[in-house]
């Protein structure tokens, strides 16, 4: 049916051309004519840019099509959507990761069977691969395999599409053994090639329109990150930090918010560049219990300042540096607080962020990478500039004295919850979600019914009671959510994966980390949805724990499945190949997740509207 629908939207001349081919095909076959496929019109060759590859090193490969004259193949992004694109897809490898793929710039030519010029490749047409080996890869000879899909045409006819197996031999040696450049002439066109392969190609296309337009696009991508659940701690800390100030000067409060956002942007940019250039996991700093504990204790310290304890127990120079209460909050303290909140933002991943990581890693310029992520994080930080400014202006509201004491304590409870959450991730990650329940329950009882501010004022007392009841109700809702049955996962192992493939069973693999907030959202919202549980019931559902991302086991799996951030969900079909278009990066709600499941199992799922 899809073929017929595609034919209906083709130009008249193309429809006639295809019909003639269909009518002539049987006569050709009955006349004894040999069937010719697109693969017969090209002679692919491969080459590396180095003579050998060290463990943990980056290198490049090229696949040259070498098409016969006058045959051509469609470009990777063909002019018309129904044309078959040229596509090179690497097969899964345990030791080598693809960081970038670049297709040649297409030629735009006119053909007799088409009403408009088409983008095509001719003659050599090199496809470049940027690759990286794992530092734990054993020394030896390897064959990296890929599938090249093409359809060859000349000015009169198009042959049947073909998928050709490509083999790239690679010699892996010990780190420090040395790598000498080779085949330099074949890589001269690397910089002119077009980055392809999904979102990364879209990022590259941003820079084709000029640097300023690219930065505007990246700024908007950063702004869109505020729609993801990883910003929840950032919101609570920002409101608590600025809402507890006693500075009523609008310009000064705005300046402080700018310093705070610059702290966020600086930390996020540094983490982004490190992840892009090292191939590490974005947000992996949060894997350290020491870092989690530091964040937790810092949040507790800020919370104590909301309860007015710093003036008694800590000297002024320290409170001014960590953002404590008083007439002014130190700019250095706000910048440091922004640095910490920038760590919170690191797990905010999605396809555009993964594409940016890959693009910056490919360019290899740390200064360029820093500015790319700095602009991205300014977009991420814009709402906090506004939030910090207006939270800090609450002191200008009339009669703020009594109720502001209560509001500061409310913010203090929020910070205690955030601090407890991160300490929980460090000490007891399997129970960390109960911290939210306890914070809402105990905090609601205290702030609504035990706190003594405004005692005897009827209106204010009603507000306190209402706030306390809402908090307790939320605690009950969270408790009930924790009682829901979710997807039953199995720990990942190669044996289980092999067993699934032997059975012809598709596989869903969830890459997660204990410190990843979007991972928790997936577990408690998406993976407890009955429709999602049922839709994935025929799959083998495996979990991979990347909490300690730099362990040899984690590194091998990250390289094997090309994982740059968590959560990432990978779908493997019953033939052992990844369904790449179904891959999930970041948090998705149940209906959106079901669409990805449908891509992986299109014949076995009907989406609920």
Output the domain CATH number for residue 154. Answer: 2.60.40.1250
Q: If pLDDT is split at 50, 70 and 90, which confidence band does 231 have?
A: low
- Lowest-confidence range among 154-163, 242-251, 463-472? 242-251
Closest-CA residue to 441 (of 402, 480, 391): 480
Average of per-residue pLDDT values in the chain:
77
Q: Are 59 and 50 in contact (CB under 8 A)?
A: yes
Is residue 540 situated within a structural domain? yes
Instruction: Examine the domain organization and report whether 499 and 361 are in the same domain.
Output: no
One-character DSSP codes across 497-562: HHHHHHHT--EEEEEE-TT-HHHHHIIIIITT-HHHHHHTTTSEEEEEE-TTTTSHHHHHHHHHHT
How far apart (Å, rounded) are the C-alpha atoms in residues 513 and 546? 5
Closest-CA residue to 261 (of 187, 345, 178): 345
Q: Which two tokens stand for residue 136?
A: 């734990």
Instruction: Examine the domain organization and report whether 12 and 81 are in the same domain.
Output: no
Which residues 6+ apart lie within 8 Å of 212 measured at CB? none
What's the average model confidence in pLDDT over 497-511?
91
How far apart (Å, rounded) are the C-alpha atoms in residues 46 and 61? 7
Residue-wise pLDDT for 169-191, tens only, equals 999 999 889 999 999 888 888 87
Phi, psi of 566 (to 5 degrees): -120, 150
The pLDDT score that the predictor gives to residue 245 is 60
The pLDDT score that the predictor gives to residue 393 is 57
How far apart (Å, rounded) are the C-alpha atoms in residues 170 and 136? 16
Phi, psi of 398 (to 5 degrees): -65, 145
Answer with the residue of higher pLDDT: 163 or 329.
163
Q: For residue 468, is pLDDT > 50?
A: yes
What's the average model confidence in pLDDT over 298-318?
61
Instruction: Examine the domain organization and report whether 146 and 294 are in the same domain.
Output: no
How far apart (Å, rounded) are the C-alpha atoms in residues 223 and 384? 11
How far apart (Å, rounded) are the C-alpha atoms in residues 71 and 62? 21
Instruction: Examine the domain organization and report whether 261 and 127 are in the same domain.
Output: no
Of 136, 163, 197, the one marking the end of a domain is: 197
Is residue 59 situated within a structural domain? yes
Q: How far is residue 112 from each of residues 75, 155, 370, 518, measured CA to CA in Å?
A: 18, 6, 49, 53
Measure CA 579 to chain center.
17
The DSSP letter of residue 175 is T
- Enumerate long-range contacts of 228-232, CB under 8 Å, 24 or more apart: 228/348, 228/350, 228/518, 228/586, 228/587, 229/517, 229/518, 229/521, 229/587, 230/344, 230/345, 230/347, 230/348, 230/517, 230/518, 230/587, 231/345, 231/348, 232/517
What's the average model confidence in pLDDT over 34-47?
82
Of 377, 398, 419, the one marking the end of a domain is: 398
Q: Are 243 and 531 in contact (CB under 8 A)?
A: no
Is residue 517 situated within a structural domain? yes
Q: Are 344 and 271 in contact (CB under 8 A)?
A: no
Phi-psi sector, 159: left (phi>0), alpha (psi -120 to 50), beta: beta
Instruction: Examine the domain organization and report whether 166 and 233 are in the same domain.
Output: no
Residue-wise pLDDT for 360-384, tens only, equals 765 667 888 888 888 888 888 888 8
How many CB atoms are closer than 10 A to CB 214?
A: 18
Residue-wise pLDDT for 117-169, tens only, equals 888 898 888 999 888 887 777 899 999 988 898 888 887 777 778 888 999 99
Answer with the residue of higher pLDDT: 258 or 515.
258
Is residue 193 situated within a structural domain? yes
Instruction: Examine the domain organization and report whether 152 and 224 are in the same domain.
Output: no
Q: Are 64 and 45 in contact (CB under 8 A)?
A: yes
Closest-CA residue to 489 (of 528, 434, 518, 546): 528
What's the average model confidence in pLDDT over 481-498?
89
Report angle CA 419, 424, 430 to the nearest 5 degrees: 150
- Lowest-confidence range among 97-111, 185-199, 200-214? 200-214
The pLDDT score that the predictor gives to residue 9 is 42
Q: For residue 271, is pLDDT > 90?
A: no
Q: For residue 26, is pLDDT > 50?
A: no
How far apart (Å, rounded) are the C-alpha atoms in residues 593 and 595? 5
Instruction: Examine the domain organization and report whether 52 and 28 are in the same domain.
Output: no
Closest-CA residue to 57 (of 47, 49, 65): 49
What's the average model confidence in pLDDT over 232-260?
74
Which residues 6+ apart lie within 8 Å of 14 measured at CB? 113, 114, 115
The pLDDT score that the predictor gives to residue 609 is 36
Instruction: Examine the domain organization and report whether 116 and 191 are in the same domain.
Output: yes
Instruction: Examine the domain organization and report whether 189 and 235 are in the same domain.
Output: no
Answer with the residue of higher pLDDT: 578 or 62.
62
The pLDDT score that the predictor gives to residue 79 is 77
Q: How far is residue 431 from each of residues 291, 294, 427, measured CA to CA in Å?
A: 19, 19, 9
How far apart (Å, rounded) are the C-alpha atoms in residues 34 and 31? 9
How far apart (Å, rounded) are the C-alpha atoms in residues 305 and 411? 10
The pLDDT score that the predictor gives to residue 293 is 80
Which residues 6+ apart lie within 8 Å of 398 measured at CB? none
Q: For residue 590, is pLDDT > 60?
A: yes
Q: For residue 205, is pLDDT > 60?
A: no
Instruction: Examine the domain organization and report whether 156 and 225 are in the same domain.
Output: no
The pLDDT score that the predictor gives to residue 32 is 39
Q: For residue 459, is pLDDT > 60?
A: yes
- Lowest-confidence range among 30-44, 273-287, 295-309, 424-438? 273-287
E strand spans, 296-397: none
Torsion of CA 300, 301, 302, 304, to 10 degrees: 80
Is residue 411 situated within a structural domain? no
- What's the domain range around 10? 1-35
CATH assignment of the domain containing 495: 3.40.30.10
Is residue 415 situated within a structural domain? no
Instruction: Examine the domain organization and report whether 224 and 336 are in the same domain.
Output: yes
The pLDDT score that the predictor gives to residue 80 is 73
Is residue 205 situated within a structural domain? no
In total, how many domains does the chain have? 4
The DSSP letter of residue 285 is G
Q: For residue 194, is pLDDT > 70?
A: no
Is residue 333 situated within a structural domain? yes
Q: Are 222 and 377 in contact (CB under 8 A)?
A: yes
User: What pTM was computed for the model?
Assistant: 0.56
Q: If pLDDT is split at 50, 70 and 90, which confidence band does 524 have?
A: confident
Q: Which two tokens stand for residue 522?
A: 């997936």
State in Å, rounded, how far the first CA of the chain is from the last one.
23
Q: If pLDDT is split at 50, 70 and 90, which confidence band does 25 have?
A: very low
Of 197, 231, 254, the one marking the end of a domain is: 197
Instruction: Examine the domain organization and report whether 98 and 242 are in the same domain.
Output: no
């Amino acid at each position: 049916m899809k073929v017929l629908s595609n034919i209906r939207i083709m130009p008249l001349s193309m429809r006639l051309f295809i019909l003639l081919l269909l009518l002539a095909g049987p006569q050709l076959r009955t006349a004894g004519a040999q069937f010719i496929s697109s693969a017969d019109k090209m002679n692919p060759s491969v080459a590396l840019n180095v003579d050998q590859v060290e463990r943990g090193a980056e290198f490049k490969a090229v696949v040259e099509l070498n098409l016969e004259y006058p045959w051509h193949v469609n470009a990777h992004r063909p002019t018309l959507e129904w044309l078959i694109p040229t596509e090179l897809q690497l097969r899964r490898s345990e030791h080598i990761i693809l960081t970038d793929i670049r297709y040649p710039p297409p030629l735009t030519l006119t053909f007799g069977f088409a009403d408009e010029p088409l983008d095509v490749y001719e003659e050599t047409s090199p496809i470049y691969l940027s690759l990286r080996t794992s530092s734990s890869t054993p020394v030896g000879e390897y064959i990296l395999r890929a599938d090249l899909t093409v359809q060859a045409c000349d000015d009169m006819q198009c042959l049947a599409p073909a998928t050709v197996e490509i083999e790239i031999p690679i010699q892996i040696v010990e780190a420090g053994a040395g790598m000498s450049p080779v085949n330099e002439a074949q890589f001269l066109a690397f910089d002119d090639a077009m980055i392809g392969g999904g979102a990364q190609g879209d990022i590259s296309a941003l820079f084709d329109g000029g640097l300023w337009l690219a930065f505007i696009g990246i700024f908007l991508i950063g702004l869109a990150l505020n729609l993801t659940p990883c910003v929840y701690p950032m919101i609570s800390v920002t409101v608590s930090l600025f809402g507890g100030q006693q500075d009523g000067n609008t310009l000064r409060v705005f300046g402080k918010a700018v310093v705070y956002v610059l702290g966020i942007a600086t930390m996020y940019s540094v983490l982004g560049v490190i992840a892009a250039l090292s191939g590490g996991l974005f947000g992996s700093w949060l894997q350290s219990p020491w870092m989690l504990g530091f964040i937790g204790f810092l949040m507790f310290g800020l919370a104590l300042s909301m309860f007015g304890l710093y003036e008694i127990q800590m000297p002024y120079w320290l409170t001014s540096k960590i953002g404590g209460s008083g007439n002014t909050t130190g700019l250095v303290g706000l910048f440091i607080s922004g640095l910490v909140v920038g760590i919170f933002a690191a797990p905010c991943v999605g396809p555009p962020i993964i594409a940016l990581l890959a693009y910056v890693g490919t360019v290899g310029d740390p200064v360029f990478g820093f500015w790319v992520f700095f602009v991205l994080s300014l977009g991420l930080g814009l709402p906090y500039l506004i939030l910090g400014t207006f939270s800090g202006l609450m002191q200008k509201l009339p009669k703020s004295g009594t109720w502001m004491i209560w509001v500061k304590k409310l913010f203090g409870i929020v910070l205690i919850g955030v601090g407890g959450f991160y300490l929980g991730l460090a000490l007891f990650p399997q129970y960390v979600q109960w911290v939210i329940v306890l914070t809402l329950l105990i905090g609601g009882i205290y702030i609504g019914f035990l706190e003594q501010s405004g005692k005897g004022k009827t209106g204010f007392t009603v507000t306190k009671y209402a706030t306390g009841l809402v908090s307790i109700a939320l605690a009950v809702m969270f408790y009930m959510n924790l009682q829901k049955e979710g997807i039953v996962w199995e720990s990942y192992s190669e044996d289980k994966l092999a067993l699934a493939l032997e059975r012809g069973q598709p596989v869903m693999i969830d890459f997660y980390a204990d410190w990843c907030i979007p991972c928790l959202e997936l577990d408690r919202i998406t993976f407890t949805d009955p429709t999602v549980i049922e839709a994935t019931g025929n799959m083998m559902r495996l979990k991979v724990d990347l909490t300690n991302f730099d362990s040899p086991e984690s590194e091998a799996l990250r390289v094997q499945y090309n994982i740059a951030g968590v959560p990432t969900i990978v779908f493997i079909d019953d033939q052992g190949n990844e369904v790449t278009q179904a891959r999930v990066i970041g948090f998705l709600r149940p209906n959106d997740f079901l669409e990805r499941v449908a891509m992986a199992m299109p014949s076995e799922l009907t989406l609920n509207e």
